[in-house]
């Protein structure tokens, strides 16, 4: 896992055709808006989170965020332990994100 700033995040995602953006917040938080093109799996689902993450392609590059950067850091470490090759944690999370925001899909 690597902690990255929003500037690093935007640069990496823009040039990464293997990027997978993962939002690990709760549904209520997701309803407030998401980083465009992100996929939602709530880390608070416990084993459900692990089961869903294990279905993902471990060779892709995962850009993970939550509200403040704590849960996404935990998610990235867990994913590393599960055999994911590349995980990035957004420092400051969605609270400090000042880039584009999209509506969450139902």
Q: In degrees to the nearest 10, what's the CA dihedral of 49, 51, 55, 58?
A: 70
Instruction: Give the active site residues.
Output: 66
What is the 3-class SS of the chain, one letter each residue? CEEECHHHHHHHHHCCCCEEEEECCCHHHHCCCECCCEEECCHHHCHHHHHHHHCCCCCCEEEEECCCCHHHHHHHHHHHHCCCCEEEEECCCHHHCCCCCECCCC
């Amino acid at each position: 896992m690597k902690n990255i700033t929003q500037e690093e995040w935007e640069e990496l995602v823009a040039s990464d055709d293997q990027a997978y953006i993962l939002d690990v917040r709760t549904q209520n938080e997701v309803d407030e808006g998401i980083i465009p093109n992100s996929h939602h799996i709530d880390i608070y689902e416990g084993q459900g989170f692990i089961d869903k993450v294990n279905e993902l392609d471990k060779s892709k590059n995962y850009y993970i965020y939550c509200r403040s950067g704590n849960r996404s850091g935990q998610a990235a470490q867990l994913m590393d332990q599960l055999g994911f090759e590349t995980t990035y944690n957004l420092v400051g999370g969605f609270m400090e994100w000042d880039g584009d925001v999209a509506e969450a899909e139902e």
